[in-house]
């Protein structure tokens, strides 16, 4: 019974965290995921600054965790950061 309550608290905490994430927090999470080698490749394909060089697989992990949030998507797009637009 206690384990079920702890599991439920963990799930509800995750849901709250996912719902309360802001564009700034996501950008802070994405910044260390950047890769200079990948950044160079996407610059060769015409991408402009600002760009962190985050691989698509890493952005998809974040997208999967956040699910759909239309306002957050608009906020991320408005930042102008290429990785946040993907």
Domain-embedded: residue 12: no
Domain-embedded: residue 45: yes
- Token pair 């946040």 is found at 84
Can the peptide bond before residue 18 be classed as cis, meaning omega within 30 degrees of 0?
A: no
| Burial of 81: CB neighbours in 10 Å, binned 0-12, 13-18, 19+ | buried
State residue 25's pLDDT score.
94
- pLDDT exceeds 80 at position 1: no
Q: pLDDT: is 11 or 82 the higher one?
A: 82
Q: Which two tokens stand for residue 67?
A: 């699910």
Domain-embedded: residue 11: no
Domain-embedded: residue 9: no
Domain-embedded: residue 59: yes
How far is it, in rounded angstroms, from Cα 30 to Cα 10?
A: 23
pLDDT band at residue 24 under the 50/70/90 scheme: very high
How far is it, in rounded angstroms, from Cα 71 to Cα 25?
A: 14
pLDDT band at residue 33 under the 50/70/90 scheme: very high
Number of domains in the chain: 1
Domain-embedded: residue 41: yes
Domain-embedded: residue 1: no
Query: Residue range 6-12: average pLDDT?
Result: 59
Q: Is the pTM of this model over 0.95?
A: no
53: left (phi over 0), alpha (psi -120 to 50) or beta: left
Domain-embedded: residue 3: no
Domain interval for residue 76: 22-85
């Amino acid at each position: 019974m206690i384990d079920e309550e702890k599991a439920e608290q963990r799930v509800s905490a995750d849901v709250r965290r996912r719902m309360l994430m802001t564009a700034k927090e996501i950008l802070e999470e994405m910044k260390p995921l950047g890769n200079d080698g990948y950044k160079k490749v996407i610059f060769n394909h015409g991408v402009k600054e600002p760009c962190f060089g985050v691989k698509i697989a890493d952005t998809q992990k974040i997208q999967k965790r956040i699910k759909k949030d239309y306002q957050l998507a608009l906020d991320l797009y408005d930042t102008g950061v290429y990785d946040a637009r993907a």
